[in-house]
């Protein structure tokens, strides 16, 4: 934790140094480069440097004479005019739709005739040119020469820090690609269920691979517990389904219901397919519902007749409506019979 705080503090210090060095560097970048970005060429920073140069001109006129102060003052005016013109040009390009980054560091004038990369020209050639000019003017106009030397050093520091940050950003992207490739290869351990083999560092782009033995054992135990719990759940579900099947089968072969609703020949053989059994069970349920609905809607007399018929079918006692009924005459003496009101009697 302390290391992270120290690293963050160091980055903040580097940012402060870069921002400070940018102020004097802008006063010479405006002359060393063309097509400087609109927002990179911040007028507030330019104006702050112009005010500081005016104070430096006043101090130089007192120390080195009015000529030295006047040259510093003229240099500050040239910086203001050049910055204003350059920003106006970039703003015009923006309105025209010219694609150019607003934070561009510009294109060095030396890159047009020197066979060098642009990054080398910006890092070394531009500061070196400002340093040479500053040293040459140091013997003629010491205050201006000293200021140009300071600006050259600031420009070199700014470009060095900026270059390092660009390298870090590109390396971060490259490291992310390498790590993603190595991680995708290590995922094989979790997909195949085997033990990840440790490979040499030379084959993994410098990243140690392989699974720690303790971690591998913990993962294996966890997988075994998961398999055991899944097997137990399957067994429990199977046991729960068996009673349901044993209860549903007699309902489909209920002889009383089937005998009262369907002809006997229709069920001479028990269906062998599950679809046939399901259809029969559904038909029985629908028939039961229809029977209940009919019983609830019929008048009381009909209900009594249905009940007596059920009793007759269960006990084998005939129902005699009148003494003239042929069924009554066919009964032997002492045989039981039932009247329509449901009472049981014997024939004399």
pLDDT at 89: 95
Residue 215 pLDDT exceeds 90: no
- From CA 35, how far away is CA 307, in angstroms rounded? 108
- From CA 141, how far away is CA 73, in angstroms rounded? 13
Q: Decide: 328 and 322 in contact? Cβ < 8 Å.
A: yes
- From CA 267, how far away is CA 253, in angstroms rounded? 9
Q: Which two tokens stand for residue 331?
A: 């009964």
Q: Which residues is 34 bridged to in the sheet? A: 107
- From CA 175, how far away is CA 343, in angstroms rounded? 100
Q: What is the mean pLDDT of residues 68-88?
A: 95
Q: How confident is the model at residue 83 (pLDDT cuts 50, 70, 90)?
A: very high
pLDDT at 174: 84
Q: Which two tokens stand for residue 235?
A: 């067994």
Q: State percent of the chain over pLDDT 70.
A: 64
Q: Decide: 102 and 27 in contact? Cβ < 8 Å.
A: no
Q: Which two tokens stand for residue 260?
A: 């009262």
**How high is the mean pLDDT of the chain?**
76
Q: What is the mean pLDDT of residues 11-38?
A: 92
Neighbouring CB atoms inside 10 A of 319's CB total 17
Q: Decide: 186 and 203 in contact? Cβ < 8 Å.
A: no
Q: Which two tokens stand for residue 302?
A: 């009909």
What would you report as the CA-atom Rg of the chain, rounded to the nearest whole angstrom? Answer: 52
pLDDT at 336: 78
Q: Which residues is 178 bridged to in the sheet? A: none
Q: How confident is the model at residue 29 (pLDDT cuts 50, 70, 90)?
A: very high
Q: Decide: 301 and 274 in contact? Cβ < 8 Å.
A: no
| Sign of the C-alpha dihedral computed for residues 119, 123, 125 and 127 taken in this order | positive
Residue 126 pLDDT exceeds 90: yes
- From CA 246, how far away is CA 252, in angstroms rounded? 11
Q: Decide: 190 and 222 in contact? Cβ < 8 Å.
A: no
346 phi/psi in degrees, rounded to 5: -120, 145
For 236-277, the pLDDT digits (tens) are 777 666 555 444 444 444 444 444 444 444 434 444 445 555
Whether this model's pTM surpasses 0.75: no
Neighbouring CB atoms inside 10 A of 189's CB total 17
Q: Which two tokens stand for residue 257?
A: 């219901």
Q: Which residue, 128, 146, 158, 139, is CA-closest to 53?
A: 146
pLDDT at 182: 72
For 175-207, the pLDDT digits (tens) are 888 888 777 766 665 556 555 555 666 666 666
> Dihedral of the CA atoms 94, 97, 103, 106 (nearest 10)?
-90
For 105-118, the pLDDT digits (tens) are 999 999 989 999 98
């Amino acid at each position: 934790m302390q290391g992270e705080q120290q690293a963050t503090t160091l980055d903040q210090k580097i940012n402060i140094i870069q921002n400070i060095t940018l102020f004097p560097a802008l006063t010479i970048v405006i002359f060393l480069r063309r097509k400087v970005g609109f927002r990179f060429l911040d007028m507030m920073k330019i104006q702050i440097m112009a005010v500081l140069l005016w104070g430096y001109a006043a101090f130089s006129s007192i120390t080195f004479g009015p000529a030295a102060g006047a040259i510093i003052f003229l240099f500050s005016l040239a910086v203001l005019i050049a910055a204003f013109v350059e920003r106006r040009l970039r703003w015009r390009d923006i309105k025209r739709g010219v694609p150019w980054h607003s934070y561009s560091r510009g294109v060095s004038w030396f890159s047009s005739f020197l066979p060098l990369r642009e990054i080398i020209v910006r890092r070394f050639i531009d500061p070196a040119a400002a340093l040479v000019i500053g040293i040459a003017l140091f013997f003629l106009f010491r205050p201006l020469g000293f200021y140009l030397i300071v600006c050259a050093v600031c420009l070199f520091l700014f470009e060095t820090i900026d270059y390092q940050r660009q390298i870090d950003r590109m390396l971060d992207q490259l490291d992310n690609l390498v790590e993603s490739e190595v991680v995708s290869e290590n995922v094989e351990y979790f997909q195949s269920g085997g033990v990840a083999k440790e490979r040499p560092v030379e084959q993994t782009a410098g990243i140690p691979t392989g699974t720690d033995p303790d971690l591998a054992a913990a993962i294996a135990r966890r997988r075994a517990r998961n398999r055991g719990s899944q097997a137990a759940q399957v067994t429990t579900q199977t046991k729960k389904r068996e009673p349901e099947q044993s209860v549903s089968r007699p309902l489909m072969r209920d002889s009383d219901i089937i005998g009262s609703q369907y002809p006997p020949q229709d069920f001479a053989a028990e269906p062998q397919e599950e679809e046939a059994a399901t259809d029969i069970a559904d038909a029985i349920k629908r028939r039961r519902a229809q029977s209940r609905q009919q019983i609830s809607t019929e008048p009381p007399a009909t209900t009594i007749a249905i009940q007596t018929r059920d009793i007759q079918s269960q006990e084998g006692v005939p129902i005699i409506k009148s003494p003239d009924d042929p069924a009554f005459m066919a009964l032997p003496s002492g045989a039981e019979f039932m009247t329509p009101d449901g009472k049981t009697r014997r024939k004399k």
